Structure 1
Amino acid sequence: MTSDYFEFLSIIGVAFFAISGTLLGHDKNIGGFGVVVVASVTALGGGSLRDVLLNQPVFWIDNPNYLYATYSAIFITVLFIRHLPNVSSYYMLLLDAIGMAIFNIVGIEKSLLQGTDMIVAITMGMTTGIFGGLLRDVICAEVPLVMRQELYSTACLLGGLTYAVLFHLDIAYLWCIIGSVLVTVLLRLGAIHWGWQPSIFKKGRMQ
């Protein structure tokens, strides 16, 4: 991955997560500075954990452009909400899905650049994609999306596996990204609209 691609994807992912955090903060009637905290944690939390685990400089400390993207996304979203205060929570879920899909890719790529195995990279992608949203939901006293009985972390995992398959088939790099993002986002939208959920344990009547 070129540095330009990497930074572009990261900034887009940060912006989407910042917007989703701002929308949830609005939905929970959190005060002004609290919204900034929630949105910033959402945008920066997953990538920060990733970099700590990979023993790399934390991305937003190393490159302040990510902070500019975060605060700009928060500011623009706040202005939007002031004019359309009844914005649906669906948009938070949609933006969260897109942000998760993008951060999944970024986590995979950054891990691979450090020489990890693909299975480690896929796990790191999931960590990057999920952790910011997990912190957001905990701070807002919500049951985290990742803990609910619907496709969330599974969507992230399958998006990562899609990337791995396309990568090993030597498919063009851009299509590896597009394929992974589409799988992750479409699975999340399916979970939102139709309640798709993985079934790990067979439910039965207690005797």
Structure 2
Amino acid sequence: MMHPIIFNTTLEEALNLVGTFAFAESGALLAVRKNYDLVGMAVLALITAIGGGVIRDVIIGAIPPAAFTDASYLWIPLFAVGLTFFAHPLLNRLNAAVLVFDAAGLAVFCISGATKALIYGLGPLPAITLGTLTAVGGGIMRDILAHDQPAILRVGSELYALPAALGATIIVILARFPGNDSLMVGLTAVFVFLLRLFALRYHWKGPRPWRTTSH
């Protein structure tokens, strides 16, 4: 049976807002690296921040999506755009900053995505799937709009979807046991965040099918 305390509304909203800012920053920073103007920054920030959550909400029937019923989900990306517009010269390595913020958004959104799926009565596997989709959906849209190959499909790309899937899986398991909910959810987010960063640092990649040498 799902343990309801872990999925209280306050915790879910907090996770969503943190993830929204992190993803918005990754989108805005990518726009700066691509030399886009202010409108381009806003487009990439918004689509990265709310894209995965909108897809999740449409699938589970949470209509209209939370991004369009709570103005915070629009103001936070715009704030991130303004911050990045003026502060980006302080960031010496924009590409590294994009990856760090993207990892933070990935960690938070896989948790909030799985959480909301469970709240809406989905089973473990659909919840894990939607948690992963929530985490990677906005980044995929961002990369496509910026004419980059999405990290999840890039040949030789470091672990991306797998950390999100692991995080969503942990949340689904935690939902069945009582305990210190906030601590465990926080540790799960840290685990996913660090796993993604370590994968980038040490070039950890997912398994690939065996290839036979043709003669």
TM-score between the two structures when normalised by the length of structure 2: 0.90
| C-alpha deviation, 1:176, in angstroms | 3.1
Query: How is 1:40-59 mapped onto 2 (pairs within 5 angstroms)?
Result: 40-56=46-62, 57-59=64-66
Whether contact under 8 Å (1:167, 1:176) holds in the other structure is: no
2:4 maps to which residue?
none
Paired AA for residue 28 in structure 2: T
TM-score between the two structures when normalised by the length of structure 1: 0.93
Aligned counterpart for 1:76 among listed residues 83, 90, 95: 83
Q: How many Å separate the matches in 2 of 1:194 and 1:204?
A: 27
Paired AA for residue 192 in structure 1: L
1:63 maps to which residue?
70
Paired AA for residue 24 in structure 2: A
Q: How many Å separate the matches in 2 of 1:35 and 1:201?
A: 38
Q: How many Å separate the matches in 2 of 1:3 and 1:120?
A: 20
Whether contact under 8 Å (2:127, 2:172) holds in the other structure is: no
Relative contact order, higher structure (CA 8 A, sep 6+): 2
Q: How many Å separate the matches in 2 of 1:12 and 1:99?
A: 8
Aligned counterpart for 2:106 among listed residues 100, 111, 115: 100
| C-alpha deviation, 1:194, in angstroms | 0.7
For structure 1, which segment, 3-12 or 21-30, has the greater mean C-alpha deviation from structure 2 after superposition? 3-12
1:152 aligns with 2:160: yes
Aligned counterpart for 1:176 among listed residues 179, 184, 187: 184
Paired AA for residue 61 in structure 1: F
Aligned counterpart for 2:149 among listed residues 143, 148, 163: 143
1:109 aligns with 2:115: yes
| C-alpha deviation, 1:168, in angstroms | 2.9
Whether contact under 8 Å (1:162, 1:183) holds in the other structure is: no
Q: How many residues align?
A: 206
Percentage identity across aligned positions?
A: 31
Q: Which runs of 5+ in 2 are unaligned?
A: 1-6
2:195 maps to which residue?
187
Q: Which runs of 5+ in 1 are unaligned?
A: none
Q: Deviations over 1:1-57 (max 9, x none)?
A: 222222111111100000000110111111221111011100010001111001112
Whether contact under 8 Å (2:30, 2:94) holds in the other structure is: no
Whether contact under 8 Å (2:38, 2:85) holds in the other structure is: no
Once superposed, what is the RMSD of the aligned Cα atoms?
1.5
Paired AA for residue 172 in structure 1: N
